[in-house]
Amino acid sequence: VFPEGGLSRDGALRPPRLGLLDYLLRAFDPGGERDLVFVPVGLNYDRVLEDRALLAEAAGQGRAGALRTGAAATRFALRQAGLWVLRRWHRFGYACVNFGSPVSARAWLEARRLDLRALGKEARQGHVEAFGRELMAAVGRVVPVLPVSLVATVLLESGGPTSSLELHRLTQDLLRRLSAAGAQVYLPRSDEEYAAAVGLRMLTLRRLAVERDGGWVPAPGEEPVLRYYANSIAHLRGPIQGP
């Protein structure tokens, strides 16, 4: 299930929808024969095919946004076909999944001496919210860090044209800081330099990053798409604890 109720519209983790959790917890017997266990799953992608459609929906662009997205999808398909014919086609990057330590509803309730079956809706709501926040934090801790999210973050924060050498240095520095803090970093080919290079290549192929004045900058008007990918790891920039 998506604890947030669906796909993220801006790439960031969202607050959990509590209806399903409340449904599960309000009838759960902490002393019963079976436990209720949640396994946190963190997903991330270097390329989300519907990223522009999700951003348009978040911006409330409605039908006009859908039409623009459809036109962009058609152009994308034609461009990919052309690259395939010219043997210049590249994969869309990496998709990665991580699994966190299971969260036991029984252990959580017993630690707080709670039995939600005995509580009314209003009295139960605060506890369900607290449990939902803990689940989302557990999911957030195992969201993988991928090359595109790293490079997108550096481009947005660089503040101006950044040379290839400096971009690679900043990307590797961010990668190391996140890894040292406990984030789940996927390092393709176990090579930091390659991770920076492939992340930049993906963004240039999509025309999200361009060269200007001897350095790399976000392409004009494409900051929202770059932010979509940077948002996927934004919650990891603070203190990170183990899963």
pLDDT tens sequence for the chain (243 residues): 788 888 888 999 988 989 999 999 999 999 999 999 999 999 999 999 888 888 888 887 655 455 665 666 666 566 656 655 666 555 668 999 999 999 999 999 999 999 999 899 999 999 999 999 999 999 999 999 999 999 999 999 998 999 999 999 999 999 999 999 999 999 999 999 999 999 999 999 899 999 999 999 999 999 999 999 999 999 998 655 444
**Contact (Cβ atoms closer than 8 angstroms) between residue 105 and residue 36:** yes
Q: What is the pTM of this model?
A: 0.84
Q: Is 28 exposed, middle or buried (0-12, 13-18, 19+ CB in 10 A)?
A: middle
Q: Is 122 exposed, middle or buried (0-12, 13-18, 19+ CB in 10 A)?
A: exposed
